[in-house]
Structure 1
Amino acid sequence: MTARPDEGTPCWADAMFTDVERAEALYADVLGWTFGASAAEYGNYVLARADGSAVAAVVPPAPGQQGPAQWCLHLASPDAAATAARVRDHGGEVLMQPMRVGDFGTMCLAREPGGAVFGVWQGDTHEGFEATAVPGAYCWAEIRTREPERTDAFFTAVFDYTVRGIEGGMNGFRVYDLGGRTVLGRMRMTDDLPPETPSYIEVYFTVADCDAAVAAAGRHGSAVRYGPADSPFGRWAALTDPQGARFSVIDITTARGEKPQAEDVVRAPDG
């Protein structure tokens, strides 16, 4: 049996789109996804697969929930109710109470004090990503926040994260480590973004060719926010799809330059 992901590990990503068919066409072209049938009993939730492995999902908004499209990163938990309680205890907001989803698992939605929305997933028959860091699959995520100190304090209280700085990190970039592994990034939002832009989590998907993925996204009306550009982690670009969902693509096989080193611990969890 595959070991369940440690609590706080990114384990799933999904997005809500008013026009699901348009989203499917775009992500099929950009990421090579194929899509299953929508599950009416679960709000017409549609699984996306890369080379046969479940890697994400798309879903239309429920009645009365229309809003801008956005990707939501879900963090693993052995007890979603207990995690939701810690969210409330440490200044976050539970947007959707823990809810059982058939025999797949239990989910809830939360907002951290800096404003970024994230999910909590207590897996059962569906533990989360069936593949990562391969073309079409999730590989990384960064919390973009206007209140980094509050964000760090919250996440280290809710999950067993240690926060570290990065040598030469721009915009106060930090990483969250979990059990000796780096699992998330955290960056201060700059004035380049309109003040009405809320804090959010940027999800990175792996691609075989960054430039080709950007070109494909452009054919579907996506906007390029940054790149394509080379980095020590791969050639990448930040995009906004036509329905407003932000995401990034990265070719991790084309890393250029030396990876920056993590600095001393900035904040460790209490106890």
Structure 2
Amino acid sequence: MTEAARCEPGTPCWVSLMVHGLDATREFYGELFGWEFAPGPARLGPYVRALLDGREVAGIGLLPAGSGLPGAWTPYLATDDADGTAESVRCAGGTVAVGPLDAGDTGRLVICSDPSGAVFGVWQAAAFAGTEAAGVPGTPFWNELLTHDAEPAGKFYRTVFGCEPAPMGAKDTDRVALRAGGRPVASVRGAGRALPRDRGAHWTTWFEVADPDAAARRVVELGGRVVEAPEDGAEGRRATVADREGAVFTVVRPKGR
């Protein structure tokens, strides 16, 4: 495992899940990934941090009662200036929904959406830099934006964070990598008319597992469902699944592991 370090702007540094049933969700992910939980910053309301071998890997918070919002995983992209980034989001055609605000002494955050409506967070680290473990089962592996068209989405994240879009995958695939600090940190996939109407444009978090087939079966046993059956892809073998509340995520065994 590797400890968190300050990330280049635009790099996903944390993932958080907002749900209606906190206890049931903790049980689901505890059984699936072996996570334990500790209280998060009180200012964020009912919120816990997921721990793997004592290191923080994700957050789970409670949606406001009666909000009607679906549960969803949200990546937080690193910044050196949350207030400046929030203004850049507005100027580039996005929306700022929450913040900027301080999360105790841990950092400063913003919740935004890009012009296509995909929700993401912004994190300016202080005492807490972000995810503290990587490269083992139960940790975030990748984040991908599923949207209508990859090119304008890539331009938005380049304008706001300085990420450089670069083609990836087959030439006939509308998919780009977002590069920060000279390396790929996330991807954007254009789905066109295949974009799910019930979800619209959205970010998806991928979690590493030892066996995606077994993980997909376990998701069903725990009350979730399989959205896309396990298959081999460029990054490794993966399956897209949903938890009990319908929050979608991907489980993946990276190539070479």
* TM-score band, normalised by shorter chain: over 0.9
Displacement, 1:192? Answer: 4.2
User: Which residue of 2 is the match for residue 185 of structure 1?
Assistant: 187
2:85 to 77, 83, 86: 83
Shift in alpha-carbon separation, 1:167–1:253, aligned structure 2, 3 A = closer
2:108 to 87, 106, 112: 106
Displacement, 1:253? Answer: 5.0
8 Å CA contact retained: 1:171, 1:190: no
Structure 1 residue identity aligned to 2:85: T
Of the structure 1 ranges 27-36 and 135-144, higher mean CA displacement relative to structure 2 is found in 27-36
Q: Give aligned-pair identity as a percent.
A: 34
Structure 2 residue identity aligned to 1:133: G
User: Which residue of 1 is the match for residue 175 of structure 2?
Assistant: 173
Displacement, 1:68? Answer: 0.4
Structure 2 gap segments, 5+ residues each: none
Q: Does 1:225 align with 2:221?
A: no
8 Å CA contact retained: 2:175, 2:189: yes
CA distance in 2, matches of 1:93, 1:47: 26
Shift in alpha-carbon separation, 1:21–1:150, aligned structure 2, 3 A = same
Aligned length: 255
Q: How does 1:59-208 map to 2 (within 5 A)?
A: 59-63=61-65, 65-168=67-170, 171-208=173-210
Query: Partner of 1:156: helix, strand, or coil?
Result: helix
CA distance in 2, matches of 1:229, 1:169: 21
Question: Residues 158-200 of structure 1, C-alpha deviation per residue, up to 9 Å, x if partnerless?
Answer: 1111111124156401111112100011111254454242110
Normalization by structure 1: what TM-score? 0.88
User: Which residue of 1 is the match for residue 214 of structure 2?
Assistant: 212
Of the structure 1 ranges 23-32 and 170-179, higher mean CA displacement relative to structure 2 is found in 170-179
Query: Partner of 1:198: helix, strand, or coil?
Result: coil
CA distance in 2, matches of 1:200, 1:89: 20
CA distance in 2, matches of 1:63, 1:124: 30
Question: Residues 199-255 of structure 1, C-alpha deviation per residue, up to 9 Å, x if partnerless?
Answer: 100100111221221111011222212121123422110012221211001112557
Query: Partner of 1:157: helix, strand, or coil?
Result: helix
8 Å CA contact retained: 1:113, 1:150: no
Question: Residues 112-141 of structure 1, C-alpha deviation per residue, up to 9 Å, x if partnerless?
Answer: 011110000011111100012321111101
Displacement, 1:155? Answer: 0.8
1:57 to 50, 56, 59: 59
Structure 2 residue identity aligned to 1:115: G
Structure 1 gap segments, 5+ residues each: 256-271
Structure 1 residue identity aligned to 2:109: M
8 Å CA contact retained: 1:94, 1:111: yes
CA RMSD of aligned residues (A): 2.0
Displacement, 1:37? Answer: 3.8
